[in-house]
Structure 1
Amino acid sequence: MHESPRPAGSTSALTRSQRLDRLPYTTEHRKLLVGSGVGWALDAMDVGLVSFVMAALAQQWALSSGELSLLASIGFVGMAVGAGLGGLLADRIGRRQVFALTLLVYGLATGASALAGSLAALVVLRFVVGLGLGAELPVASTLVSEYSPRRIRGRLVVVLESFWAVGWIMAALIGYFVVPTSPDGWRWALVVGLVPAAYAVVVRRALPESVRFLESRGRADEAEAAVRAFERAPALGRSRPESEEQARAAEPAAAPASGTGGLWSAGLRRRTGALWTVWFCVNFAYYGAFTWLPTLLLQQGFTLTTSFGYVLVITLAQLPGYAAAAWLIEVWGRRITLAVFLGGSAVSAVLFGIVSVGTVVLPWQVIGSGMALSFFNLGAWGALYAIGPELYPTALRGTGTGAAAAFGRIASILAPLSVPVLLGLGGERYDLVVVFAVFGAAFLVAAAATFALPEQRGRTLA
């Protein structure tokens, strides 16, 4: 990296990274957080809409479970490819550039999906949508992480992730109020997906490029201008800057890569293996459960409108889950917070399966256990996105977070395909018990793998 101290005349000899780390929370941080968060919410809205489109097309096009699984999984195939490519591109052409490009790709493809006249056309377009969606998430979290003061870095990334709940709630509202209204309701829902394409212009013009990336490319003047913009910005609330001594004393968060192995070098292989395991298990359980949730409720005898209404209420519990994780991640630390929320997810998943047994399914039990699953699962997602960028040095940060996300997307491909198989194993009476017990086991494996990750709270990014 080519960091340099502040210009002549300054009393500080801090590097630009240290200057960013010691800042209070400012209006520029809020602008970056909200600007990135809107893109994140639009991503979640697009992913969430698929579950409602699936439920509608299951009736309108008489799709089989296998065809529905294909429709759900193909988007995750695209996300797996996109996550890997997005991370690599972010380390080569910049975080902001890739962020804007991904919004444009999946926004246009989603709008085009509204015109699909066959399952084959919809499947192709959902793959393209997935390319953009998969690339965006690790890039956005990396950009926010690299600008966040180290004392609140984890909290700000969790807040960024909480925009996912906003997007999913938007999808649930569209699913509830738009999809059931007419045979073309699902098409109008997908038309809304054009919004990210327009928002790409905002991202390209309004958000800053990563200072650490600019320095790694020798663009020192641009990096200095970006840091000064944050230093001049007014502080918000009671936030205060650190002293220069505190900034200098901060321990680096990421061990440098050694040898030629990159992510799998001696200094990084343990954390890479653990991170990939967590990503895989969380993706499998989350997307297996929530992609199929409206359809599974329909199979339990609820109407389309009632099922969508229950999913909307269940989704609302994501917001307090994120809020709790955002607070605890700077109090308990990254590992304990992630492990606790994954453990809570496992218990909630098993409970959801159990309350679905019997000839009479009580709505309050379905909603209660579903809300608990939303609360713990999305809190865990927030902690996971906060951890990833802290594990790698600047030259590998986008690649590392993108590679973990890409590996996790393999599980998100398998999860929707596995649900029909698991339903068959449980028989007519215990079908959902088996499905959600498997998801609960995946959460427990992820919780165990969390303890192989280094604790990075309060450390500065390398």
Structure 2
Amino acid sequence: MNKVRTMEDMPLSGFHFKMFTYTSGSTFLDGYILGIIAVALSVMQTQLDMSLTVMGLLGTATLVGMFFGGIIGGYLTDLIGRKTIFLLDMLVITIASVLQFYVNDPIYLIILRFILGVAVGADYPIAGTLMAEFSPKKNRGALIGGLSALWYTGYAFSFLIGYFLLSIGDTSWRWMLLSSAIPSFLLLIARLNMPESPRWLANKGREKEANAIVQKIFGAGVVMSEEPEIKDKTSFLDMFRNGYGKWTLFVAVFWSLQVVPTFAIGTYIPVILGQFGFADGKSEYLGSAIINIVYLAGLIPALYLIEKYGRRPTLIWPFLVSSITLFVLGATSGANLSFVFILVLFIIYGTFNTGMGIHQWVYPTELFPTHIRGTAVGFGTGVSRIASAIGTFLFPAFLANYGVAMTMYVCGALFFVGFLVSLFMAPETKNMSLTETSALNKFGNLKTRDFESNQNIN
């Protein structure tokens, strides 16, 4: 008997890369919008009357907005559709970006930055969810994980654009904040041509539309999946019911444990290198640049390894290596070691840490069924952003009060807890269909593997 061809069995094609372009705009804009405010603030503070509290609120308003946007947007994308919310939030980002150009009161700017955060946070769960629901199962991890590379691209690009716009003068901050309207508007136009998720349509009882989309993209005879999509009503609390609570806990915990040290160390890396004795006016900035470049480079092998060896090992062991590296940095902080040695340790940490960051996208999209997939990704996004905001806010005071050694020990301890959580909770989802991965809460890895083997035999 011939095996049924499903869209998850299809090889990589131009369509998949087109979907990657649509969805990666979410991470690019997140990095860009968070980065451009840092450059704009350096000019803005001389133009507007701002207290330190107001400046702090401007810096964190977007992250707080992402908490609400991730949770609300994730639920709405499961309730009323992936494409609908994907278009609406990009429209909001475009309008809010334009309005930033005209503000004269920093309070209004804080409100707009919060709205931007809500819209970006809403876009996040849709991006990973859509990419997962269209991806071949053999390439799903790399395609979803690859979305994280665009965050670093957007963040770096914002500083480049900000640097060139500084030549405008006193009003340059307005043009910097306005600049995010360009990529958001282009994405809005591009997304008009993208299809709705067939899995979401089938889950809502619209199988005819779902099959029409699958066959238009992949050709006649290709079906959405071998198993019919279960028609469940979207409920926010379903993340915590029917065995999915453990996955919700796992995603929220490992994601937060990974981003808290990452955001804190990444934000203050020049200060940290200065504490190691390299504050000569240029070494700490040279080191920061090299480390951030390696952050992006660390993703390249991870995208291969996650498909070659699976999800579990590429999450568990990087947590452990990152932890050990930070413990070593803490232990050697007062030893007056060479700049190169310290830099190498940070590069090892950055490579492994950034590589495992792709699991923030992979696991949430694979472990939950269609009717709550966006909700779960949004919840993980919201919790991790609040955790990263708190960690980044507290980091300077902790570093000043307790020193670089204790700071490295605490960050290393957080990664070690992440190692333990992943060791005992992380499932393996390599080469499984979304139907199988979202059933792991019921059947466990062994039974799902047996199911897959029986399907291949038949």
Aligned counterpart, 2:78 = 91
Distance 1:189 1:343, change over 3 A: farther
Q: Where does the alignment leave 5 or more consecutive residues of structure 2 unmatched?
A: 436-458
Q: Which residue of 2 aligns with 1:337?
A: 314
> Quick one: which amino acid aligns to residue 329 of structure 1?
I
Q: Does 1:27 align with 2:14?
A: yes
For residues 101 and 368 of structure 1, do their structure 2 counterparts lie closer, same or farther at Cα, with a shift above 3 Å needed? farther
Superposition pairs of residues 441-452 of structure 1, within 5 angstroms: 441-451=413-423, 452=425
Asked whether the 8 Å contact 2:320–2:419 carries over to 1, the reply is yes
* Count of residue pairs brought into register by the alignment: 428
Q: Percent identity?
A: 27
Q: Which amino acid aligns with 1:381?
A: G
Is 1:274 aligned to 2:250, yes or no? yes
Report 1:198-347 matches (<5 A). 198-232=185-219, 262-293=238-269, 311-347=288-324
What are the superposed Cα offsets for residues 371-425 of structure 1, whole Å, 9 maximum, x if unpaired?
A: 4444333222212211111111111111111112212222022122212321332
CA contact (8 A) 2:78 2:375 kept: yes
Aligned residue in 2 for 1:387? 363
TM-score using structure 2 length = 0.80
Cα deviation 1:119-144 (Å, max 9, x = unaligned): 43332222111111211112101100
Q: For 1:455 and 1:157, how far apart are their aligned partners in 2? A: 16
User: Is the alpha carbon distance of 1:318 and 1:420 closer, same or farther for their aligned partners in structure 2, counting shifts above 3 Å?
Assistant: closer
What is the rounded CA distance, in whole Å, between the counterparts of 1:373 and 1:392 in structure 2?
A: 30
Q: Hey, what's the Cα distance between the residues in 2 that align with 1:357 and 1:60?
A: 42
CA separation of 1:337 and 1:214: change in aligned 2, threshold 3 A: same
Alpha carbons of structure 1 residues 69 and 447: separation in structure 2 relative to 1, 3 Å: farther
Supply the RMSD in Å over aligned alpha carbons.
Answer: 3.8
Residue number in structure 2 paired with 1:6: none
- Given that 1:159 and 1:326 are in contact with CA atoms closer than 8 Å, whether structure 2 keeps it comes out as yes
Deviation, 1:348, is 4.8
Greater Cα shift, 388-397 or 171-180: 171-180
The residue type equivalent to 1:162 in the other structure is A
Deviation at 1:437, TM superposition (A): 3.4
Partner of 2:443: none
Structure 1 residues 198 and 64, CA gap change in structure 2 (3 angstroms) = same
Q: Distance in 2 between matches of 1:69 and 1:282?
A: 23
1:116 is displaced (CA, Å) by 4.4
- With 208-217 and 317-326 compared, the bigger mean Cα shift is at 317-326
CA drift of 1:162 comes to 1.8
Q: Distance in 2 between matches of 1:441 and 1:145?
A: 32
Structure 2 residue 119 is the aligned partner of structure 1 residue 126:
no
Change (3 A) 1:70 1:353: farther
1:67–1:320 Cα change, 3 Å: same
Change (3 A) 1:448 1:108: farther
Q: Which deviations, in whole Å up to 9, do the C-alpha atoms of 1:315-346 show, x marking residues without a partner?
A: 32233211111111112211210122333333
Structure 1 pair 379/12, CA: closer, same or farther in 2 (3 Å)?
same
Report which stretch shifted further, 83-92 or 293-302.
293-302
Does the Cα contact within 8 Å between 2:329 and 2:408 map onto a contact in 1? yes
Q: Is the 8 A contact 1:285 1:442 kept in 2?
A: yes
Question: What is the Cα deviation at residue 59 of structure 1?
Answer: 8.4
Helix, strand or coil: the match of 1:151?
coil
Query: Counterpart of 1:437?
Result: 409
Structure 1: which 5+ runs fail to align? 1-10, 234-240
CA distance in 2, matches of 1:297, 1:119: 33
1:209-249 deviation per Cα after TM superposition (whole angstroms, max 9, x unaligned):
1110011222233212221133149xxxxxxx99x9xx85x
CA deviation string 1:243-300 (max 9, x = no partner): x9xx85x9x9x9x99x995111242122221111112222322222334446777998
**2: CA distance, partners of 1:61 / 1:361:** 44
Shift, 1:84, TM fit: 0.2
Q: Say if 1:188 and 1:329 are closer, same or farther in 2 by CA, change over 3 A.
A: same
> 1:455 deviation in Å?
1.4
- Contact 1:329-1:383 within 8 A present in 2 as well: no
Q: Tell me if the contact between 1:138 and 1:398 (Cα under 8 Å) persists in the aligned partners.
A: yes
> 1: CA distance between counterparts of 2:45 and 2:324?
30
Letter in 2 for 1:444: F
User: 1:292 and 1:49, CA in 2 relative to 1: closer, same or farther beyond 3 A?
Assistant: farther
Within the candidate set 398, 421, 424, 2:397 is matched to 421
Question: Structure 1 pair 367/207, CA: closer, same or farther in 2 (3 Å)?
Answer: farther
**Paired amino acid for 1:277:** V
User: Using the alignment, how far apart are the partners of 1:370 and 1:73 within structure 2?
Assistant: 26
Give, in whole Å, the separation in 1 of the partners of 2:94 and 2:270: 24
CA distance in 2, matches of 1:316, 1:215: 42
Higher alpha-carbon deviation: 266-275 or 342-351: 342-351
* Structure 2 counterpart of 1:106, one-letter code: I
- SS at the partner of 2:434? coil
